[in-house]
Amino acid sequence: MYLSKAQDCSYIEIKSDVVSDFILNPTNYTSLKIQGTLNCCTAETEEQTISGDQIGTNLFTLQFPTNSAAVIKEIVFKNIYTQQEWNALSADENVSDYMCNVGDITSLYPVIQAWFTANFATTVTQGYTYNSGTNTCEYTITDLPTNVIPLKMIIEVNGTLQEIYFGYSPFVGIYSTGTSFYVSPLFFGLLTFPDGIYSFVLTFTTEAGDIITINNCFFFDCETKCVVSQKIEKLLNCNKTATNIFLLHYTLTEGSNCGCNCDELCVIFNKLCSELNLSESCSNCGC
């Protein structure tokens, strides 16, 4: 199993042969448990399990953008067997026209339905749930053609492109493509990922009753590298503290995805936070 972060630090990708087979051949499995831990804080391990009819459901969810300045560039669907991808939009759409908090998201429904009518001569079911307390909007789509899944929404915010991946229910904060899982901060009950050591354990049960467990951990580095880079001048002047900082950061980067050294990575990360005069604890889950 290999872990990595999205370029914009919005998702953690989980990739393996077993994950790919589970997504492509869900009927071969009877259950899947996903456990995720941040900075070895086992008391705060997040866990979700699906089984039975929940596996292979074609109800897909997406955290619809709530930024009215965002522009929807594409809504991408994919055939998971042929790997063909399509954009369901013929033109850019302004998120402000579909704001979930006022219910205008339903205006998006005929746009998507028209595309499925034209390309597959079928009807899909769409819905949404809005949480005013957290200002989050979950868009859902089901009754899709066989082998077709919604892959992602591409939006542009202030000139920057962002990808929002669909996930399938009942996982919360877990999204999939034809070959990988994508974990969003929602899995951990967060809005963004803090830097730290993330570890995952996936336990599959097959139709034959076999139990397959895969696990790994890695250093999620979105902000720390920028703080470390500020020490370059001191490093060039042979400053001992700066040297320690770069060695610790290098060890975290090179030690990721080894699978058997998670506790050691957490110790090194804590040491790096200390050298950088940042705080780290299980309570705040990161520097």
* Binned average pLDDT, 10 residues per bin, the chain of 287 residues: 90 94 89 96 91 81 92 92 89 95 96 96 96 90 88 93 82 76 88 93 96 97 86 65 86 90 92 79 44
Selection from 1, 24, 2 nearest residue 176 by Cα:
24
What is the reported pLDDT for 234? 60
Per-residue burial over 155-168, b if 16 or more Cβ lie within 10 Å, else e, is: bbeeeeebbbbbbb
Give the list of residues 6+ apart from residue 29 with CB closer than 8 angstroms, or none. Answer: 22, 55, 204, 205, 206, 207
Specify whether the backbone of 62 is left (phi greater than 0), alpha (psi in -120 to 50) or beta: beta
Element (H, E) at 241: helix 240-254
| Inter-CA distances, 173 with 34, 109, 194, 279, Å | 11, 23, 16, 27
3-class secondary structure, 60: strand
**201 beta partners:** 35, 215
Instruction: Give the integer Cα–Cα distance in Å for 23 and 178.
Output: 6
Helices 262-275, 240-254: axis angle to 10 degrees equals 150
Tokens for 77? Answer: 């669907």
Q: Tokens 């020490």 — which residue?
A: 231
What is the reported pLDDT for 49? 94
- The string of pLDDT tens digits covering residues 9-43 is 888 999 999 999 998 888 899 999 999 999 999 88
Sign of the CA dihedral 75, 78, 220, 211?
positive
- The string of pLDDT tens digits covering residues 109-155 is 999 999 999 999 999 999 999 999 888 899 999 999 987 889 899 99
The DSSP code for 42 is G
Tokens for 261? Answer: 């050294």
What is the reported pLDDT for 1? 95
**153 beta partners:** 75, 164
CA dihedral 57, 62, 178, 261 (to 10 degrees): -100
pTM as predicted: 0.68
